[in-house]
Amino acid sequence: MGLEGQHVVVTGAGGGIGSVVARSLAASKAAVSCWDRNQGQVSALRADVADQGYRMLDIGCDVSDIEEVEQALAKSEAELGPVTGLVAIAGGAAGERIPFLELDAESWQRMLTRNLTTAFASCLVVGRAMAARRRGSIVLFGSQAATAAAPGLAAYAAAKGAVRQLASSVALELAPYGVRVNVVSPGVIETAANRALITGGESALVDRIPLGRAGQPGELVGAIGYLLSDDASFTTGAWIDVDGGYTLI
């Protein structure tokens, strides 16, 4: 992926998608800082790859908290040098399906914090550092829910739709500083956490995917790697669907 010499932060690196992305970036010779509020998960990830020669750092961090993000960035750069890339994966629907008429303020705010505030905080803090150096690539995570409605996901869809506009706005403002901002938008991706849902309650979603199956976490890596690399040096403000064609219908 042409990432040798880069230092990439992956938020949500302890999750099923985040850990695969972090491993793949490290295997491409990037130094990787893994941020996750679950310190145990990212510590286990680092320990698992310790004998493979990867440059990987694990940091426990609530990426919805700007102060914690600032502290995590300082630790990452002290250990691995200036950050050149950010992949903001932290978020997700966490298996929650709440009909709109049953939503309450707490559920609404929890989903926005998990998906929108995490993107904002990491983008703001890391974006400031990149702008000061006039170099960097930020990859935010969208979702097919941002453009294709599904029952019970109003709060999640609203948050991911806002991420799309956040990315466009930040891409415009950071372009003069040489910092690119793009979005990778996954469809139904099979992980250990949602495998049972995909074969059960979520099977209807899989049935309407033109390619006829759920995606795998590793199938997101190519789009992410492209956006982080110099091959995408003229690409900013883009939204790339990796959803098996789900949003075509």
Tokens at residue 189, please?
A: 């991706």
CA 205 to chain centre: 21
Catalytic residue among 156, 177, 226, 246: 156
Q: Does 7-248 carry CATH code 3.40.50.720? A: yes
Q: Which pLDDT score is estimated for 219?
A: 98
Burial (CB count within 10 angstroms: exposed 0-12, middle 13-18, buried 19+), residue 161: middle
Distance of CA 51 to the CA centre of its chain: 26
- What pLDDT is stored for residue 203 in this prediction? 64
226 has catalytic annotation: no
Whether the pTM exceeds 0.85: the reply is yes
- Cross-strand pairs, 91: none
pLDDT average per 10 residues of sequence, the chain (249 residues): 93 96 97 97 95 95 98 98 98 90 97 98 98 98 92 96 98 98 95 75 78 95 98 98 93
pLDDT at 200: 64
* DSSP assignments along 156-203, one per residue: HHHHHHHHHHHHHHHHHHHGGGTEEEEEEEE-SB--TTTHHHHHTTTH
State phi, psi for 160 to the nearest 5 degrees: -70, -30
Q: What one-character-per-residue DSSP string does 19-41 give?
A: HHHHHHHHHTT-EEEEEES-HHH
The CB-side HSE value for 89 (13 A sphere, CA atoms) comes to: 27
Q: Report pLDDT for 193.
A: 76
Q: In this predicted structure, what is the pLDDT of residue 195?
A: 79
Q: Are strands 56-60 and 136-141 parallel, antiparallel or unpaired?
A: unpaired
For position 196, what pLDDT does the model report?
73
Q: Domains of the chain: which residue ranges?
A: 7-248
pLDDT at 198: 75
